[in-house]
Amino acid sequence: MNTLKQNLPSIDAIFPYIGTVLLILGGSYFFPQILGFDYLAQQLQIAAFLGFLALGATLVILLGHIDLSVPWVLGGAAIVSTSLVGSGNPALATLAIPAALIFGGLVGIINGVGVAILRIPSMVWTLAVNSMLLGVAVLNTGGFNPKGEASGTMIWLATGNLAGLPVAFMVWVGATGIIALLLKKSAFGRYLSSIGYNEKATFLSGVSTPSVIFAAFAIAGLCSALGGVMLAGYANQAYQSMGDPFLLPTIAAVVIGGTSILGGRGSLIGTVGGVLFITLLTSILSVMQMSDAWRNIIFGLIIIIMLLLQTLRRKGS
Amino acid sequence: MSRSEHPIVRLCGVSKTYGATHALSDVDFSCFGGEIHAVLGENGAGKSTLMKLVSGVIQPTSGSIEVDNTITRLKGPADAISRGLVCMFQELSLVPDLSVRENLMLGAVGSGLGRLDTGVVQRAQNTLAQIDGGGIGMRTRVADLTLAERQQVEIAKALTRDPKLLILDEATSALNASVVEKVFRLIREERDRGVGVLFISHRFHEIETLADRVSIFRNGTHVETFDNGAYDYGAIISKMVGQRIDDLFPAKPSTAPDAEEVLRLDGFGWANSLKDVSIVLRKGQITGLGGLDGQGQGDVLQGLFGLLKGTEGRCIVAGTPVSITHPKQAKNPKLGIALVPEDRKTEGLILDQSIARNLELAALGTDGINASDPAIYQPFLDALELKCDSLDQPVTELSGGNQQKVALTKWLALGPRCMLLADPTRGIDVKTKTQIYALLRRLADSGVAILLVSTDYEELIHLCDETHIFYQGRVARHLTGRDVTAEAIIGASLNIPSSAETSEVANA
């Protein structure tokens, strides 16, 4: 209802921002350059790659499902776009980005079919889809890094600057804004979290729940593909398993952002905070030049602490 | 059939409460060896609670249970079985994914720590052969058996436990008459060996042929115990019914049997659960569907709301034949059908969401309705006197009655032509009940057709203009006007011939 204040960001969503600020302040104690504009702008650029993935993942997790096909939708989209550009045919090169997005959307729809119609648990179905995409990619490239390069547009999207801010960050904020508007203003957004809380009751309220699940997975596929295009532009190439390191940080960013892994409760604004937090944490840990082993342990510990604090606070209230 | 001197089990002043509901209050009850003791009562009378207490599944809230004249606390089903109290439950207790053989050995006497007694299987096979179950393969997965075969295995399994007291809760509900007769012979043999039998059945004639003594339960109290044959059907039924409340219900307007038809079902059927059901809903009428649990009443509502695949027969809404395949289609103003489901906590509402969000969910995306306008809900919330701090409060914080008000209002705001209600007052306090009854009557007066499934025959008598009683997927009887009496409803629910015929049967 219009009079209700339900869409104000909840404390859950503000939480990761507080964490981010603390990280910056804490990090700057050791490395003053962290407070510099260049460093922060670079972090925003890097955050955008994770941000696209987490944007799509938020929709799926709000539904109460999960999308584990993120790595190879990202990898596949990168391969599709760079191969088209690398073909040398300018007509095909202009199709690079749309083709990658269509690829992502199609995989999303396949995920939707498995989850909404065949009723296979999303965790299993999307894992299988991920594995099959990996197989197709290896068949296609013979196991070597795929040939090809990024187009000028892709490189600009990933590394360009506009009015001093990274283009990637602005595209991310724009995409997040559009989807946030969709969630807030349309019935789709309402259905999404209702299904996450209780699919049966939502269905019995006369909602076509399969089409909502379809749409969410399709949007998630699009977002992962966009992330792949960006990352290919950033690296100026696609490479095997380029998406693998992103899967867990994506889910971590969504959950730290206050979205319940069981579905229903959550927000995009929180996910943005979660993405910023995870990106900065990774960056600061690598700046500190400690061994990989310790970096992984501390990364895991801090995520657990964040989640514990969220849970404790919620229980307390 | 000499009855043992001391009761095998005796309940003294036993009560069992779940939260605010009294499942059993202050019950004294004994059962003896060498006697078949039937327990009769309506749904919710406390029969199943009694069985669960005696078989150790639950513990009494107060009072004591004596086994063989010593006060005993039954720690669990295993404890009860070791004392010879063996229960065969109506919610079948076999593990579906294990074979028949494995199920028979599961928890059998003398097994444990991997030692399995295969003698049990041989004895069970002998028992099965006596009750037409000889063809059941020991290696068959239980999930692949029919319901009747599963009941036969259950009976055989129970008998291998060497019971002193055998508890049969609807043990024969899926068996046909000739098998039932064989099971009865077996039960009588057990009795003649001195075993006590507690027998629950909704089939009157079974109790008449089998029982030595009969106990009647009503609303969690033990009404009376008497020798079989001491009373006729009519007397037994009125003992099951008890007294009534009249001012709970709004006054019924004079019926208009020729009112405009809103919805008509012709020969409606679904799989094996629903056969040849024909019902007419008219403008301004409240039509009741009654019967024992799970006789197909609920399936009618689900079918009308597009939840069942492959229904047979014709459905005509406002003069047009329709085929309803999805709730979204049913709620479309063209059809205007709304369903308030049976379980408000998991089906009717999203408990973690706010009242406002729950109210909007059905109206969202419906043509010509602005779901976000609180004004479309307010009149109903006022009429039902919803008690809440604000509409932003999560539904989970409301009492059961207030939750049901939200579940009702959510659909009323759509202005439905036809309301389907599945037991809307179950587990709700009396005050809320009167508010809901009054609202339903007002809705009917405003032209809505209401179809109400109820397990409470008071509602069928005093709220509904006419009532269809279901028995095994069919309309056993259609009651209107003065024919709608508690006796007629219970009689039809148990598929006993109507009152005129009953007296003939009793005299015969």
Q: Provide the whole-model pTM.
A: 0.74
Closest chain B CA to residue A194:
B350
Task: Report yes or no: A240 and A82 within 8 Å, Cβ to Cβ.
Answer: no
B226 φψ region: left (φ > 0), alpha (ψ -120 to 50), beta (else)? beta
pLDDT of residue B305: 95
A102 pLDDT exceeds 90? yes
pLDDT of residue B456: 77
What is the rounded average pLDDT for all residues in chain A?
90
What the block records as the tokens of B486 is 């508690």
Kindly determine whether residue B349 and residue A201, on different chains, have CB atoms separated by under 8 Å: yes
Q: Chain B within 8 Å of A10 (Cβ-Cβ)?
A: no
What is the rounded average pLDDT for all residues in chain B?
85
d(CA A311, CA A244): 28
**What's the mean pLDDT in B245-252?**
69
What the block records as the tokens of A107 is 């995989």
Q: Chain B within 8 Å of A210 (Cβ-Cβ)?
A: no
**What's the mean pLDDT in B385-406?**
87
DSSP letters along B356-423, please?
A: HHHHHHHHTT-TT--TT-GGGTHHHHHHHT---S-TTSBGGGS-HHHHHHHHHHHHHTT--SEEEEES
pLDDT of residue B254: 74
pLDDT of residue B505: 42
Q: How confident is the model at residue B507 (pLDDT cuts 50, 70, 90)?
A: very low
The residue whose two tokens read 């749409």 is A215
A5 pLDDT exceeds 50? no
d(CA B423, CA B343): 9
B389 pLDDT exceeds 60? yes
Three-class secondary structure of residue B503 per DSSP: helix
pLDDT of residue A8: 56
Kindly determine whether residue A203 and residue B327, on different chains, have CB atoms separated by under 8 Å: yes
DSSP letters along B76-122, please?
A: SHHHHHHTTEEEE-SS----TTSBHHHHHHTT-TT-BTTB--THHHH
Closest chain A CA to residue B330:
A206
Kindly determine whether residue B364 and residue A5, on different chains, have CB atoms separated by under 8 Å: no
Q: Which helix (H) or strand (E) is B497 found in, with range? A: none
**Partner-chain residue, chosen from B347, B351, B374, that has the shortest CB–CB distance to A3:** B374
**Partner-chain residue, chosen from A200, A205, A264, that has the shortest CB–CB distance to B346:** A200
pLDDT of residue A233: 94
pLDDT of residue A103: 97
Chain B interface, best mutation among A202, A205, A265, A317, by max B CB count within 10 A: A205
Kindly determine whether residue B362 and residue A194, on different chains, have CB atoms separated by under 8 Å: no
B373 neighbourhood in chain A, CB within 8 Å: 1
Kindly determine whether residue B327 and residue A201, on different chains, have CB atoms separated by under 8 Å: no
Three-class secondary structure of residue B142 per DSSP: helix
**Among B438, B412, B283, B259, which Cα is nearest to B348's?**
B412
Kindly determine whether residue B360 and residue A1, on different chains, have CB atoms separated by under 8 Å: yes
pLDDT of residue A33: 85
pLDDT of residue B501: 47
Cβ atoms < 10 Å from Cβ of A10: 15
pLDDT tens track for A123-181: 999 999 999 999 998 888 877 777 788 899 999 999 999 888 999 999 999 999 999 99
Name the residue type at position A27.
G
Kindly determine whether residue B365 and residue A187, on different chains, have CB atoms separated by under 8 Å: yes
pLDDT of residue B504: 42
Closest chain A CA to residue B345:
A201
pLDDT tens track for B178-214: 788 889 999 999 999 999 999 887 677 788 889 999 9
Count of CA atoms in the C-beta half-sphere (13 A) of A290:
12
Closest-CA distance, A174 to chain B, in angstroms, reads 27
**Partner-chain residue, chosen from B347, B351, B392, that has the shortest CB–CB distance to A204:** B347
A194 neighbourhood in chain B, CB within 8 Å: 350, 353, 357, 361
Chain A interface, best mutation among B353, B373, B409, B421, by max A CB count within 10 A: B353
**Partner-chain residue, chosen from A197, A203, A207, that has the shortest CB–CB distance to B353:** A197
Q: How confident is the model at residue A317 (pLDDT cuts 50, 70, 90)?
A: low
Kindly determine whether residue B392 and residue A198, on different chains, have CB atoms separated by under 8 Å: no
A6 neighbourhood in chain B, CB within 8 Å: 354, 356-357, 392
Question: Domains (ranges, CATH) in chain A?
Answer: 11-316 (1.10.3470)
Per-residue buried b or exposed e for B93-111, using 16+ beta carbons within 10 Å of the residue's own CB: bbeeeebbbbbbbeebeee
d(CA A22, CA A37): 17
**What's the mean pLDDT in B483-508?**
67
Kindly determine whether residue A190 and residue B364, on different chains, have CB atoms separated by under 8 Å: yes
B245 pLDDT exceeds 60? no
**Partner-chain residue, chosen from B350, B362, B374, that has the shortest CB–CB distance to A198:** B350
Kindly determine whether residue A1 and residue B351, on different chains, have CB atoms separated by under 8 Å: no
β-bridge pairing B320-322 and B311-317: antiparallel
**Chain B residues within 8 Å of chain A (Cβ atoms):** 305, 307, 326-328, 330-331, 339, 341, 346-354, 356-357, 360-362, 364-366, 371-374, 391-392, 410
Cβ atoms < 10 Å from Cβ of B164: 18
Closest chain B CA to residue A192:
B361
Measured CA distances, B140 to A89, B90, B101 (Å) = 64, 21, 8
pLDDT of residue B49: 85
Closest chain B CA to residue A201:
B347
Q: Chain B within 8 Å of A204 (Cβ-Cβ)?
A: yes
Residues 214-273 in A contacting B (C-alpha not used; CB under 8 Å):
264-265
**What's the mean pLDDT in A276-297?**
88
What the block records as the tokens of B86 is 């063996």
pLDDT of residue B506: 42
pLDDT of residue B20: 62
Kindly determine whether residue B352 and residue A265, on different chains, have CB atoms separated by under 8 Å: yes
**Partner-chain residue, chosen from B331, B352, B371, that has the shortest CB–CB distance to A264:** B352
Give me the interface pTM, i.e. the ipTM.
0.84
pLDDT of residue B426: 76
Chain B interface, best mutation among A4, A62, A204, by max B CB count within 10 A: A204
pLDDT of residue A4: 41
Q: Chain B within 8 Å of A5 (Cβ-Cβ)?
A: yes
Q: Chain B within 8 Å of A201 (Cβ-Cβ)?
A: yes
pLDDT of residue B88: 84
Closest chain A CA to residue B361:
A205
**What's the mean pLDDT in A75-87?**
93
B177 pLDDT exceeds 80? no
Task: Report yes or no: B65 and B11 within 8 Å, Cβ to Cβ.
Answer: yes
**What's the mean pLDDT in B162-178?**
82
A204 neighbourhood in chain B, CB within 8 Å: 305, 307, 327, 339, 341, 347-348
Closest chain B CA to residue A200:
B347
A69 pLDDT exceeds 90? yes
B392 neighbourhood in chain A, CB within 8 Å: 4-6
B270 pLDDT exceeds 50? yes
B348 neighbourhood in chain A, CB within 8 Å: 201, 204
A206 neighbourhood in chain B, CB within 8 Å: 326-328, 330-331, 362, 366
Strands lying side by side in the sheet with B337-340 = B337-340, B418-422, B449-453, B286-291, B466-471, B474-480
pLDDT of residue B239: 79
Closest chain B CA to residue A197:
B350
B339 neighbourhood in chain A, CB within 8 Å: 204
Q: Chain B within 8 Å of A2 (Cβ-Cβ)?
A: yes
Kindly determine whether residue B328 and residue A208, on different chains, have CB atoms separated by under 8 Å: yes
A203 neighbourhood in chain B, CB within 8 Å: 327
Question: Domains (ranges, CATH) in chain B?
Answer: 7-230 (3.40.50.300), 246-336+416-508 (3.40.50.300), 345-415 (no CATH)
A51 pLDDT exceeds 90? yes
Kindly determine whether residue A4 and residue B354, on different chains, have CB atoms separated by under 8 Å: yes
pLDDT tens track for B84-125: 898 887 656 788 888 888 888 876 655 555 566 677 888 888
